[in-house]
Structure 1
Amino acid sequence: MKKDSPAKLTLLALACIVLAWCALRLVFSNTGVAGRAEVRSLESRLAASRQQMVKSSTQTEFRTVLREMKSALRQMSPREAAAWILSELEHGGDFATQLDFEIGADQNLAEWPTYRVFLLDMLMLVDPAAAAAKARDFLQASASADEWAVAMRNLARAGGLPEDDVLLKTKSAELLRNPEWRRQSSSGYLQAFDVIVHTRNTALAPELMALCDKQDQKAVRHAAFLTLDRLLLVRPEVVLPMLSRSASQHPQSGLMISNMMARGDLRNETQRQAIESYLLDEKRTPEELRGFASVFPNANVSVSNNLLTKAASINGAELAELDRAALEIVAAWLGNPAFSRSHPVLRETYQRLRRFVNP
């Protein structure tokens, strides 16, 4: 058999390479055309949905349109979706949707009160880095409380810069103190209190305590209580002494404070001292003493979908250990004349704990 010369083999190899390169270029070229066509199609869907939103007048119509837009955005690449959202935030205006500010189990919104809130929420889904960058700029300008809530959520989840925590603490304090937002108390405004818990901003505990006294603002009062209670769970060594010192200044919230004081862990010296100071204070009312004793040690937690934090939990073994420690200390209080004003209610606490510890 006649062998091909080395030069001929080299030419054949080069020809194969050229053909392969041409084929690949054709494939990628066609893919690019198809990709651009798909993007144009998705952008057309978004534009049509936006026009439909202008015509919508019911919750069902708004819900349908926004979910269609969410579906289209999720089918785009992160870069393309983020670019479209940022353009809309800059030029697209806003629409009220008649929907509430509703948080899903994944800490993303399940429903959106305005178009801009929807866009900020979607930006976090498609491009977290872009969402954090936008949030830094967004929080420097005035906006609605609902928009600030989502922007702070985005920055807290996707930021990561050292100065982001400072910005979040600063802006959550501004939100808390905004009298107009507090008066309107939208769902987004109230949900934004969760940023205080996320940043463990105990410096705002006195302001939260003051809001707990606002009996004419029930929604704000309830949000402030929940925030302070959850802040106590993450920083008990700071919040519990503050509550003990200031309890007498807030008689309108006496029972509420008594229930929070009952969260203290007597195994911790700082928390034990705070509780004992609270019980020994001559200004404690019988109602406050009963409120404390009836739930101590208080391990109840509220369950809700929050912007950033999740509900705390305690396992059975830890709860049993907490009860044993509480039983021992309550027995010591009952033997101490200094606690005589609390003895009637503490005896009931002692009997209850005995049943838990020695069933």
Structure 2
Amino acid sequence: MAAIMVLLLVALLVSRQAATDDDRQLGVTEGMQDRDGTKEVEGLLNAALVGLSGAENPGESAAILSELKEALFSMPREDAVEVIADFLSDSSGNAATGMSFAIGEGGKLDQPTSLRVALIDWLGQLDKQRAGEVAEQILSEPTHPDEWALCLRNYAWAHPDLEESSDYLIGKWEQMIGVESWMKEPSVGFLEAFDVVVHARAVELTPRLAEMLADPSGNAGAVRHAAFLTMDRLVVASPAEMIAALDESAELLDGSDAMHAQMVARADLSEPEQRQQVEEFLLDPERSVEQLDVFAQIFPNANYMVSSNLLTTTIIPDGAERRRRDQAALSQVERWLADDRFVTRLDWLRLMRDRLQGFVSQPAVPE
């Protein structure tokens, strides 16, 4: 069947190359026909649209998209870019692929959910600046969350300076999560778009993320998980700022004591500000037994979620860095054990000390 679909593409391309005035009824503008090479690309785009509409399974869709991508990426770049941009200017032309939204290396898609999603992805690879301009156009109104996710990525690629782009990106992300239907039935692309918050280091959104953790409605399980991962990755990216934000949002985190403790347990005690934050966390008279238990059992939290993301890459400390942090943490915990202020925390400190002693006594493993 896949071979038949490819033949359909070829047949439709031949028919499009013999275009008449009827072509304009299928969305080809007179200006496009006058440009060298664009008739051929536009014909293949329309052939792919027809082919995807009739595809019976994701495998057939993948074959059609592979054929289309090969043609687009082998053409003069400016021709492919402008035809893709023109096609995307009209949201009525689209077809689903039957595939799940899946991100690969470098934020590029391995599996697009529709023809438009594929084209947005490819446009970002072909011309970041043009893709950023098209992203602004698409982001001017709700279309589909998967499209918005990729447009946020493309805009960020076109504007790498966070001082320039962060306000726009966060504003659009907040607009995205404000679409009720998208939030109630979140697509994979919708959930992947949470990476924009990490990219922008938007610790000021901690209260909003904390509210999502407590939301029991609808498909909140997926959104809750995305919010937790976002907060956790923000701690990794900006530990002192995020731990402070967690403390300020403590009331909103009621019921998420274990999550809160796990995130604070990422602190690096060799850093004075983070060391002070952990000290205050441990000495807080309102700290629950559950939080102290979780903190002591996981500190230092060196568990990392390794994944392909739209914009960010999680930097995992190497063995030498982890060992340095463990040694600094052990020294500090031993000082706390001798500090009268921690007399009510001795059991937890001893558990932390035992864990750390086990880590630092292990021979160094060559990287």
Aligned twin of 1:10 = none
Which of 230, 235, 243 is equivalent to 1:232? 235
* TM-superposed deviation, 1:39: 5.9
Aligned twin of 1:85 = 84
- Structure of greater Rg: 1
Deviations 1:104-154 (A, max 9, x none): 123111111122211111111222221011112222222221111000100
Q: Is the 8 A contact 1:248 1:284 kept in 2?
A: no
CA separation of 1:334 and 1:249: change in aligned 2, threshold 3 A? farther
Q: Which moved more, 1:155-164 or 1:50-59?
A: 155-164
Aligned twin of 2:157 = 157
Q: Is the 8 A contact 1:263 1:298 kept in 2?
A: yes
Please give the alpha-carbon distance, in whole angstroms, between the structure 2 residues aligned to 1:100 and 1:66.
Answer: 14
Q: Is the 8 A contact 2:94 2:115 kept in 1?
A: yes
Q: Is the 8 A contact 1:262 1:297 kept in 2?
A: yes
Aligned positions of 1:1-359 closer than 5 A: 40-91=39-90, 93-160=93-160, 163-216=164-217, 217-247=220-250, 249-359=252-362
CA separation of 1:146 and 1:316: change in aligned 2, threshold 3 A? same
Please give the alpha-carbon distance, in whole angstroms, between the structure 1 residues aligned to 2:350 and 2:255.
Answer: 27
Q: Is the 8 A contact 1:198 1:308 kept in 2?
A: yes
Please give the alpha-carbon distance, in whole angstroms, between the structure 1 residues aligned to 2:324 and 2:338.
Answer: 22
SS of equivalent to 1:110: strand
* TM-superposed deviation, 1:214: 2.8
Q: Is the 8 A contact 2:203 2:245 kept in 1?
A: no
CA separation of 1:104 and 1:140: change in aligned 2, threshold 3 A? same
CA separation of 1:236 and 1:69: change in aligned 2, threshold 3 A? same
CA separation of 1:215 and 1:302: change in aligned 2, threshold 3 A? farther
Q: Is the 8 A contact 2:209 2:231 kept in 1?
A: yes
Q: Is the 8 A contact 2:49 2:115 kept in 1?
A: no
Please give the alpha-carbon distance, in whole angstroms, between the structure 1 residues aligned to 2:138 and 2:225.
Answer: 28
Please give the alpha-carbon distance, in whole angstroms, between the structure 2 residues aligned to 1:59 and 1:140.
Answer: 30
* TM-superposed deviation, 1:81: 0.6
Percent identity over the alignment? Answer: 36
Task: Count residues in correspondence.
Answer: 324
Please give the alpha-carbon distance, in whole angstroms, between the structure 1 residues aligned to 2:206 and 2:179.
Answer: 16
TM-score scaled by length of structure 2: 0.82
* TM-superposed deviation, 1:333: 1.9
Q: Is the 8 A contact 1:196 1:227 kept in 2?
A: yes
Please give the alpha-carbon distance, in whole angstroms, between the structure 2 residues aligned to 1:116 and 1:130.
Answer: 16
Q: Is the 8 A contact 2:235 2:242 kept in 1?
A: yes
CA separation of 1:132 and 1:180: change in aligned 2, threshold 3 A? same
Aligned twin of 1:27 = none
Q: Is the 8 A contact 2:38 2:83 kept in 1?
A: no
Q: Is the 8 A contact 1:323 1:353 kept in 2?
A: yes
Please give the alpha-carbon distance, in whole angstroms, between the structure 2 residues aligned to 1:68 and 1:341.
Answer: 67
Please give the alpha-carbon distance, in whole angstroms, between the structure 1 residues aligned to 2:214 and 2:135.
Answer: 32
State the one-letter code of the partner of 1:208: L
State the one-letter code of the partner of 1:70: K
Please give the alpha-carbon distance, in whole angstroms, between the structure 1 residues aligned to 2:182 and 2:344.
Answer: 43
Please give the alpha-carbon distance, in whole angstroms, between the structure 2 residues aligned to 1:117 and 1:225.
Answer: 26
SS of equivalent to 1:252: coil
Unaligned runs of 5+ in 1: 1-35
SS of equivalent to 1:106: helix
* TM-superposed deviation, 1:249: 4.3
- The structure carrying a bigger helix percent of its residues is 1
Q: Is the 8 A contact 2:53 2:96 kept in 1?
A: no
Q: Is the 8 A contact 2:282 2:292 kept in 1?
A: yes
TM-score scaled by length of structure 1: 0.84
Deviations 1:242-280 (A, max 9, x none): 223433542321111111010011122221222122112
Q: Is the 8 A contact 2:268 2:274 kept in 1?
A: yes
Q: Is the 8 A contact 1:96 1:113 kept in 2?
A: yes
Please give the alpha-carbon distance, in whole angstroms, between the structure 2 residues aligned to 1:132 and 1:170.
Answer: 16
Aligned twin of 2:15 = none
